[in-house]
Amino acid sequence: MKKSIFLVLFTFILLTGCSASTKDTSSSGGGEKSGKTTTIKIANFYADDHAVNKAIKEKFLPMVEENSNGKLKVDLFPNSTIGGEEFMYDGTRNGTIEMAVLSQIMEPDVPKVGLFSLPFLFKDYAHAKGVLDSPIGGDIKTEFEAKTGLKHLGYGINGFRVVSSNRLVKKMEDFKGLKLRMPNVPQMIATGQALGTTVSPMPIPEIFPALEQKVIDGQDNPYSTLRSNAWYEVQTHVLETRHLFLPNNYVASKKFWTSLSPEQQKVVEEAVQATVKREWELTEQGEEDDKKFLKENGLKITVPDEDFKSEMIQATEGVHKEFYKKYSWAEETVEQIKEQSK
C-alpha cells in the first residue's frame, strides 16, 4: 500500500516538473518571450567589403545582439552566398530567410518602386535622400508592404550608376553594338536599349566571368560595386553617366517580424536605422576614394560634357513616357520629385 502511494506521488511530481519545464522553454513568439535565442539570417548580393556589409558589421550586428541582451543573434550572408536576389526575395516572402537587403527585384509587384529606375531623375545624393525621407518615400514603403507582405525597415543606398566597358564611350554613337549587362528590371533594360546598347540581363555573380570571356563588353553599377567586385581587372573605361540612382531596401519576412516581441522589433528597427545612416556616410565619403582607386588600377574615367549628357537624357525620355502611360499617378509624382531638386 505504502509502495503504491509512493509511486503515485513520484509520478505526480515528475509530470508536474516536466510540465513546468515545457512552459519555460516553449516559444510563444520570439526569443524574449520564450527564453530562447533567435537567429536572424540577413542576406544580400553585395561583396563582403562593400559599404552595405561594412555598415551591417559595424552597426546592425553589434546593436542587435547587445540591445537584445543576447536573445537575438545575427548571421550575415553577403555576396549572394545564400542565393541570388530573386532567391532572397522569395525566401523572405515565404519566411525561410529572416531579412534581406534588396534592390529593384520587386518592381514588377510594386509599381511605385519603378520610380527609382527612371533614368536621370535624381540630381545628387541630397536630392535622393530628401525624396526618400519625404511622403513620396513613405508612400512607396506603404505600397511595398501591401504588395509583398514584407516589412520595409529602411532605405539604404545603392548609389548612382555608371557604365564600365572594355572600350571608350565618349559620344552617343559609341553605345551602338556595346553588349551591356544590366539587372533584369524592365525599365533599366529599356534605358540601356534607349541609349543604343545591346542589353544582356544576368545576376551579379555571373558578371566577372562574362566580362573576362568577352560575352559582354560592359556593365552598369555604382563605383563602389565596380571596385568591390574587382571588375576593373577586366575593364578599361568608365563613362560617368550617373543615369540611375537606386536605394536598397532593408526588408524582413512577416513570419519573422510577427514572432518578435514589441521590444525586439524596436531593437531591430533602431539597428537598421543606424546601419542605413552609416551606409550612406560610407558611400558618399567613399566615392572619390573609389574613383581614385579605379584610376590607379588602370581605368580611364570619362565625364560626359553637358551636350552629351543632354543627348542621353533626350534619348531616354521614352522610358518616362511609357511609365506615365501605365500609371495615372506617375507623371505628377515625377514632377514632385523634380521639384525637390530645386
Q: What residues pair up with 181 in beta bridges, in sequence order?
A: 200, 219
42-to-52, 113, 143, 202 alpha-carbon distances in Å: 12, 22, 22, 23
Q: Residue 113's pLDDT is what?
A: 95
Q: State pLDDT tens for residues 314-324.
A: 999 999 999 99
The full DSSP string for 57-121 is IIIIHHHHHHHTTTSEEEEEE-TTTT--HHHHHHHHHHTSSSEEEE-STTTTT-GGGGGGGSTT-
Task: Say what the pTM is.
Answer: 0.84
Domain ranges of the chain: 36-339
The CATH superfamily assigned to 36-339 is Bacterial extracellular solute-binding protein, family 7 (3.40.190.170)
Task: Please compute the mean of the pLDDT values over residues 246-259 and round it to a whole number.
Answer: 97
Q: DSSP class of residue 37? A: P
Share of the chain above pLDDT 90, in %: 87
Tell me if 131 sits within 8 A of 336, measured CB to CB.
no
The dihedral region occupied by 79, where left means phi > 0, alpha psi between -120 and 50, and beta the remainder, is left
| Res 27: pLDDT | 35
Q: What is the mean pLDDT of residues 195-207?
A: 95
* CA separation for the pair 172, 195 (Å, rounded): 7
The confidence score (pLDDT) of residue 35 equals 65
Give me the chain's average pLDDT, please: 90
Nearest to 252 by CA among 160, 152, 134: 152
> Which pLDDT belongs to residue 21?
34
Region for 35 from its dihedrals, namely left if φ exceeds 0, alpha if ψ lies in -120 to 50, beta otherwise = left
Model confidence band, residue 342 (pLDDT cutoffs 50, 70, 90):
confident
